[in-house]
Amino acid sequence: MLAVDYLLALPPDLQERQKNLLFKMIEQVAVMHSRFSLHNSQVVYSHFEQIQKLNNQLVNTQRELQRANKKLEALNLDLNNHLVKDALTGLVSRYQYRSEMQSVINEHPNALGLFAFIDIDAFKLVNDTYGHTVGDEYLVGFAKRLASIPAEGNLIAMRIAGDEFGLYLHNLEQVDEGVLATLFCKFEQHVTDSPIPTTGGDLPISCSVGFAVHNRDTTNLFELIEYADWAMYQAKRGGKHGYRAFDKLLYDERYLEK
């Protein structure tokens, strides 16, 4: 209203000039507003594109991390399997057998446990004569038989190293000569009585075994294994393919002699 009153107050020739000038100003303001709106729209769209790209990168990164985590889980599982199970024989590995033994001991901490340290008497001859491939077949066949020995309670079969193996039976009421003889008889029946078939032929098997008793000879697992190992060597000295029980007096006597 003020602009119209202003124009009417002017002479006719000035009214037309001022009117044209006012229209131009309005037009310029409209163009500037349109350009500003367009610029803002372009800025918003540009920002939207950047956000979209970042979001896509984030999604791709998450997928890559998921794939990497799956690979890592598979590697960890494979590593754990190799640590827990012996790669060749599938028995409890040398890295794990003490933990397995301690686990069953913890269930019945005051019970007796029997550990057998087993050494294959002539395995080096098998390897030297037939080669390592047949030697591996021989060990695998031996391990399958060892794990199949029937026993009351949990029987842990393990590979300690090379041609050395172990058995652990826990929660026994007593361990005397009769128990040792019975277990060795089962060992013969299920493991050594018949040759082991290999691609090199059916090969005979004999073993020397040493026994030590947890919660009688010692409560320390490292000592238990050492004592059974020592008893096994007494069996070897006695002519092989037999067993000996750990004798603390004899062990101390020979240890002191050294």
- State residue 253's pLDDT score: 84
- 152 and 218 inside one domain: yes
- 102 and 55 inside one domain: no
- 246 and 175 inside one domain: yes
Find the angle CA(31)-CA(32)-CA(35) to the nearest 5 degrees. Answer: 85
- 117 and 238 inside one domain: yes
Q: Are 168 and 113 in contact (CB under 8 A)?
A: yes
**Lookup result for tokens 């800025």:** 43
- 117 and 242 inside one domain: yes
221 vs 99: CA distance, rounded Å: 10
In single-letter form, the type of residue at position 77 comes to L
Give me the half-sphere count of Cα atoms (radius 13 Å) on the Cβ side of residue 90.
10
In a domain, 148, yes or no: yes
Kindly give the residue spans of alpha helices, DSSP state H, lying in 85-174: 97-107, 123-130, 132-147
- State residue 119's pLDDT score: 98
- 10 and 113 inside one domain: no
- 53 and 124 inside one domain: no
- State residue 49's pLDDT score: 73
Ranges of the chain whose pLDDT falls below 50:
1-2
- 56 and 110 inside one domain: no
CA-CA-CA-CA torsion for 18, 23, 24, 28, nearest 10 degrees? 140
- 200 and 109 inside one domain: yes
In single-letter form, the type of residue at position 73 comes to E
Helix and strand numbers, DSSP H then E, in the chain: 8, 7
Q: Which of 81, 114, 148 is the last residue of a domain?
A: 81
- 31 and 128 inside one domain: no
In a domain, 92, yes or no: no
217 vs 251: CA distance, rounded Å: 11
In a domain, 135, yes or no: yes
In a domain, 86, yes or no: no
Q: Which domain holds residue 149?
A: 97-257
Number of domains, the chain = 2
- State residue 7's pLDDT score: 53
- 65 and 116 inside one domain: no
CATH number, domain at 130? 3.30.70.270
